[in-house]
Amino acid sequence: MDKVRRIFIIVLFFILAGMLAYGFYCKANIDEALGHKFIGLSIAGGFFILMPTFIYHRWKDRKVTDYMLTDDAFKRMKEFNNSKDKKH
């Protein structure tokens, strides 16, 4: 399932990047309003679909407590710093 999600994220990124590029091309050469629509849809797709999917994919199996500053984390940091000072 991770491989499918990863491929989906990569394909969606390239689709949205292509839409963005085509939007700028349309804006400059074909129709400004159509270009703005493509640019807006690609930005919205990146913000509402690509980014949450990417964040979920990257943080799926991680423990949030490992990244929180708790009393236990402060104790471990102090012990680590004290062990470094003793070595020198």
Mean of the pLDDT values across residues 60-73?
78
Average pLDDT, the chain: 85
Percent of the chain at pLDDT exceeding 90:
31
| Structure tokens, 53 | 């999917």
Angle at the Cα of 34 from the Cα atoms of 29 and 38, rounded to 5 degrees: 105
pLDDT in tens, 38-57: 999 999 999 999 999 888 88
